[in-house]
Chain A
Amino acid sequence: MPREPFILLEDVSKGYSVGGQPVHALDHLTLSIDKGDMCALMGPSGAGKTTLLNMIGGLDVPDSGKVMVGGLDLSRLNEMQRASFRKRNVGFIFQFYNLIPSLTAYENVLVPVMFERDQRRSRAEELLDRMGLSRRMDHRPSELSGGERQRVAIARALMNDPPLILADEPTGNIDSETAREIVSLFRQLNDEGKTLIMATHDRMMAGKARSMLRMRDGRISGIKASPRSSTVHLGSAQYQTQARE
């Protein structure tokens, strides 16, 4: 039975001009990722990992090519539709947490539902509780450690219960002990059915993923799927990976 991939990029290119020099952040990239995957995105700095995550999350639009997520063609959406796509479907986790400094942990978690009629505030408390932050709810980001901030950011990403979590170097500024906790949390989320994609330089983190994509110069340079699920496909390599199943 042919599987419908959850995320599908077809011939996606994105270029920037840096000081007059064109940079191919993504260079005719084709790949697909299945629902329920936990995919580590690796590669040297400047390989295009962040750019790729931004495309998948509907934060940015490609110069050419097609980005499909859950059957939705993101390149056809306007900015307002993309915002509502992000709100409902994507939980972002950033390297630098990106919390709102003036708000408490609890309020930060509520930001995504600020304009919603039913704010499910008890859910915010539950999520913070689950992150082990029940005693930190009324603290501002400046009063929290890096690991705690990142857990607040994870709670915020989960607030709308999105099927897709995109994490850009989530443990980049965190000690290895806390990083381990965060990875095991990601594993739990993945077991609960969420699809995770995480850009990382951390081998430990990549080792816990179900699959791994390696990027270089805006292209996929390597692909590895763990035996328990080979769910990442890359251009023509797609058929090989599937044949192995």
Chain B
Amino acid sequence: MTERPKTFTIATYGLSHMRHNVMRTITVLVTLMITMGFLILTLSLFFGLASEFDTDSERRSILEGKVPTSTDLFRDLRIDRDMSEGSRQALVELLLFTTVLVCTVSFFIIYNTMALSVRERRREIGILRALGLSSWEVTKLFLAEGGFIGLVSWISALFLGMPLILNLSVYLLERGDTAFFFVAPAIPPQLLVVSFLSCMGLCLVSTYLAARTRIGSSPVKLMRSQE
């Protein structure tokens, strides 16, 4: 006889659902990962600019290809000292604007992705409600799943995206002929915190908003909908 789960929880439910709908889950994961990758990249450029002026030695170490090893993964690389205060300010503002834009676009992409996957599960929501789960309990199921997918895509965006960011920065520093010459994208601990909070926030809020309307509607109507 096979081993049955000790407890049947939200996690069991969510994982079963994700395993059972692998393609759907992968699509959602990849969409979120790319979106979050952009978000993290923008944030890292922003952090790179906003941080203090730097010494040449640090920039050189990137050029020497010392960066991304796991130990100095969080190395805080900063902008060139040759840059004037005015243009630095302008770049910071531009990046701030871009960050807000990327956040907004990310939100809509994530929201749509979540809304679509909630829509596909209308009938399931109706069944759960008919069985006596409250709206809030069903919402919790969706939040747990959305949060988990958000977490996984954040981690993969970060660990796949980080070498990309650092390589990009080496490339830009070597070329040295663009505005980015002045910018060395940074991956300071703050970036981890801010990107984590914004990615999870976007995921949870959009899951909540997408789920709320469906979950709140009549169980009878939900169950009548075709899959």
Contacts and interface: CB of A to CB of B under 8 A. Distances in A.
Contacts of A137: 4
A110 B219 CA distance: 20
Contacts of B20: 101-102, 140
Contact of B124 (A87, A100, A119): A100
Contacts of B223: 94, 98
Interface stretch (A66-74, A77-85, A185-193, A215-223): A77-85
Given A54-B220, A60-B220, A156 B131 contact: yes
Interface stretch (B5-13, B48-56, B66-74, B164-172): B5-13
B130 A138 contact: no
Nearest to A83: B134
A19 to B, nearest CB: 16
B129 interface: yes
A106 B21 contact: no
A146 interface: no
A87 B132 contact: yes
Contact of A83 (B2, B16, B133): B133
Given A110-B8, A138-B2, A138-B4, A102 B19 contact: yes
Given A54-B220, A101-B20, A102-B17, A107 B8 contact: yes
Interface in A2-57: 54, 57
Nearest to B219: A59
Nearest to A50: B220
A131 interface: no
Contact of B134 (A80, A104, A111): A80
Nearest to B218: A60
B16 A103 contact: yes
Contacts of A150: none
Given A86-B132, A92-B131, A138-B2, A103 B137 contact: no
Contacts of A102: 16-17, 19-21
A67 to B, nearest CB: 14
B13 A114 contact: yes
B92 interface: no
Given A83-B133, A115-B137, A106 B220 contact: no
Interface in A111-168: 111-115, 119, 121, 125, 137-138, 140, 156, 160
Most chain B beta-carbon neighbours within 10 Å: one of A90, A106, A115: A115
A133 to B, nearest CB: 13
B133 A115 contact: yes
Contacts of B124: 100
A159 B13 CA distance: 17
B127 A100 contact: yes
A122 to B, nearest CB: 11
Contacts of B8: 107, 110, 113-114, 119, 121
Interface string B109-141: 000000000000001100111111111110000
A226 B130 CA distance: 31
A111 B131 contact: yes
Given A60-B218, A103-B13, A98 B130 contact: yes
B205 to A, nearest CB: 23
A140 B8 CA distance: 16
B127 to A, nearest CB: 5
A88 interface: yes
A24 B9 CA distance: 41
A167 to B, nearest CB: 13
A83 B129 contact: yes
Contacts of B131: 86-87, 92, 111-112, 156
Contacts of A100: 124, 127-128
Given A59-B130, A121-B4, A121-B8, 6 more contacts: A59-B220, A103-B13, A107-B8, A111-B128, A114-B13, A119-B7
Interface of A: 54, 57, 59-60, 79-80, 83-88, 90, 92, 94, 98, 100-104, 106-107, 110-115, 119, 121, 125, 137-138, 140, 156, 160
